[in-house]
Amino acid sequence: MTGPAAPERPGADSFRWVTRLSQTFLPTLKEAPADAEAISHKLMVRAGLIRQLGAGLWTYLPAGWRSQRKVEQVIREEMEAIGCQEMLMPLLQPAEPWEKTGRYAIEELFKLEDRKGSPLVLAMTHEEAVTYHVAREVRSYRDLPLMLFQIQTKERDEPRPRAGVLRTREFTMKDAYSFDRDEEGLDRSYDLQAGAYERILDRCGLRWYKVESDVGMMGGSGADEYMAPCPAGENEVVLAPGYAANIEVASAEPQPVELPPPLAAPEEVSTPGLRTVEEVSGALGVPPGALIKAMPIVVEGRGLVLVLLRGDHRLSEVKLRNGMGADFRQARPEEIEAELGPVGFIGPVEASLPMIRDAALGGGSYVCGANRADFHLRGVDPTRDFEAYEMDLRTVEAGDTVAGGAVRIEPAIEVGNIFKLGTRYSDPLGATFLDESGKERPIVMGCYGMGPARIIAAAIEQRADEHGIAWPPSIAPWRIHLVSLAKAGEEERAAADRLYEELKSGGAEVLYDDREVGPGVKLNDADLLGCPLRLVVGRRGLAKGIVEGVERDGGSLHELPVDVAAEQALALSALADPGGPARRGDG
């Protein structure tokens, strides 16, 4: 007695597994979730790639997981090509190393205890863990340099999960770490990782920028981010010819402002009830940029400090925090009134507080608060009438310039980041080595993160159209989507079955839609899922002796003779652009 046919199984390359859609868990939807705003969120749910389990918690269904694994495979290949070795570290970790590095207090870090009361964390990154191991295994300069990486689950107590897989509480990340003898060695490792990142993003078919960034909670001496421009991006990138930076740290020449005529000394002007920049500038007939915006803050360990900007500029809290080397909060109204005057009328003239003024607030004739109700001062010269420490504090605006080139600002998704950590972690965790002279020295580190899910979301955001996803071939769940428009038992279905077997024999990544549903449903689902090449076997085409081929990205049509349809489809699939260097964003 003969049993059921054995299931189709993957060969050496698991991505070449062919699949019948009638047997595949691919639940597509006509409508997107009501709360979905990002294109990638809408389409990943509608195309059956993901489903939500809870706030910021997503399950990857088979098609979505195939794409995720493809991105991970590209990452693995490029990491291994530069000598970076794969490992795997626990998600659940003792709290002690995090306490030593000072990161246990991070609000987004999940903290828990075991049954014995021992404090534990769910890691959001693995610097503490990898440094712990290296500190115990590396002894000599001969053991360095060393690069290690993993692809592992991370947890983050994200306060506002949003945009599908872009901002979640659980996610998979590739994190790599370099260990060197000195800063020169770190520079070499950093450049190797940067080159690998560029190749990964090119191979995944993204448009991207490498931009200067803030070191943030990671610490260290320098950082760069890899940004994929798209409307759903939660970051903003400042771009000019030869320049790219995250808006948090970007610098540029401000747009000029027309100032009032200078005065020999500041003089009071009555401004009853006028508290905002817009109200005062309108009443006095001067542009908002002619006002001095005074912002009192309370700095940890220092007390009240007055921050000054042009009235038309916005404060970059990241720049201010980095420049001071300390955290701060906005001063409360009662603190402001006790030290300066009524809120809405404060200014720097005759103020007894330490002051920091933005570099764009130069000499000239400005208007500021008089530190008493219903009055302002005009004719205030920041270089004459008060003393303040100068710092670049403002957020760059579109229309500013860098080396004469106009700035533009684009939203973007951060898909990767790289940091020069220096001895930020090796010092507190005791990661040292003996140099050639026998002297003990701290290991110099770098870390390098990349999010496969973010790469997938960015690719969808950049390439989708009104019909659905248009995958880059290298990370599509399947390269070919074969559609039969006939029912079981019909001649056209037999022709589709034969083509399916030929594609399978040729090693194709093919999804075969053999479901008993209408042609419209099949074609709409094919557009929604977005595999790079769609093959349609129908009565009209077979009457002409052809199989219809359609490239999803661009819609190019191909009439493939039935007897060589598989061969030509495989050739078209192989020629499809996997995303080369020309796809890089033009900073």
- Kindly report, residue by residue over 360-389, the tens digit of the pLDDT: 998 899 999 999 999 999 999 999 999 999
**What per-residue confidence (pLDDT) applies to 322?**
86
CATH code of domain 44-87+141-251+409-460: 3.30.930.10
3 by DSSP, 3-state: which? coil
Asked if 122 contacts 155 with a C-beta cutoff of 8 angstroms, the reply is yes
DSSP 531: -
Give 107's pLDDT tier (boundaries 50, 70, 90). very high
**What per-residue confidence (pLDDT) applies to 222?**
78
Label the pairing between strands 50-54 and 57-60. antiparallel
Q: What is the pTM of this model?
A: 0.87
Is the peptide bond prior to 145 cis by the omega test (within 30 degrees of 0)? yes
The mean per-residue pLDDT over the stretch 420-430 comes to 95
Give 92's pLDDT tier (boundaries 50, 70, 90). very high
Give 554's pLDDT tier (boundaries 50, 70, 90). confident
- Between the two ends of the chain, the Cα-to-Cα distance in Å is 67
Question: Nearest to residue 552, comparing CAs of 471, 440, 441?
Answer: 471
Cβ neighbours of residue 284 closer than 8 Å, sequence gap 6 or more: 269, 271, 367, 376, 378
Whole-number percent of the chain with pLDDT over 70: 93
Tens digit of each residue's pLDDT (9 = 90 or more) over 2-19: 444 444 444 435 556 668
Question: Nearest to residue 384, comparing CAs of 256, 261, 254, 264?
Answer: 264
243 by DSSP, 3-state: which? strand
Strands (E), 82-165: 85-86, 92-94, 110-113, 119-122, 146-155
**What per-residue confidence (pLDDT) applies to 301?**
83
Does the structure show a pLDDT above 60 at 175? yes
Task: Give the homologous superfamily in CATH for domain 267-391.
Answer: YbaK/aminoacyl-tRNA synthetase-associated domain (3.90.960.10)
The mean per-residue pLDDT over the stretch 273-289 comes to 94
% helix, strand, coil for the chain, step of 5: 30, 30, 40
The larger pLDDT score, comparing residue 554 to residue 365, is at 365
C-alpha torsion sign, points 174, 77, 230, 29: negative
Give 229's pLDDT tier (boundaries 50, 70, 90). very high
Q: Where are the alpha helices (DSSP H) in 138-276?
A: 183-203
**What per-residue confidence (pLDDT) applies to 12?**
38
- HSE-CB at 59 with a 13 A cutoff on CA atoms is 9
Asked if 255 contacts 223 with a C-beta cutoff of 8 angstroms, the reply is no
Least confident of 124-133, 168-177, 461-470, 572-581: 572-581
Tens digit of each residue's pLDDT (9 = 90 or more) over 478-534: 999 999 998 888 888 999 999 999 999 898 999 999 999 999 999 999 999 999 999
| Mean pLDDT estimate for the chain | 91
**What per-residue confidence (pLDDT) applies to 223?**
86
Task: Give the homologous superfamily in CATH for domain 14-22+468-575.
Answer: Anticodon-binding domain (3.40.50.800)
The larger pLDDT score, comparing residue 41 to residue 218, is at 41
51-60 contacts, C-beta under 8 A, 24 or more apart:
51/27, 55/161, 55/169, 56/158, 56/161, 56/167, 56/168, 56/169, 56/170, 57/168, 57/169, 57/170, 58/164, 58/165, 58/168, 58/170
The mean per-residue pLDDT over the stretch 234-259 comes to 91
Question: Nearest to residue 550, comparing CAs of 561, 538, 570, 534?
Answer: 534
Domains of the chain, by residue range, sit at: 14-22+468-575, 44-87+141-251+409-460, 267-391
Cβ neighbours of residue 241 closer than 8 Å, sequence gap 6 or more: 402, 403, 405, 587
The mean per-residue pLDDT over the stretch 168-181 comes to 97
**What per-residue confidence (pLDDT) applies to 18?**
64
454 by DSSP, 3-state: which? helix
**Which run of H or E residues covers position 40?**
helix 39-46
Q: Which two tokens stand for residue 341?
A: 């005057």
Question: Nearest to residue 139, comparing CAs of 522, 443, 559, 422?
Answer: 443
The larger pLDDT score, comparing residue 325 to residue 139, is at 139
Rounded Cα distance, 17 and 12, in Å: 10
What is the chain's alpha carbon radius of gyration, rounded to the nearest angstrom?
30
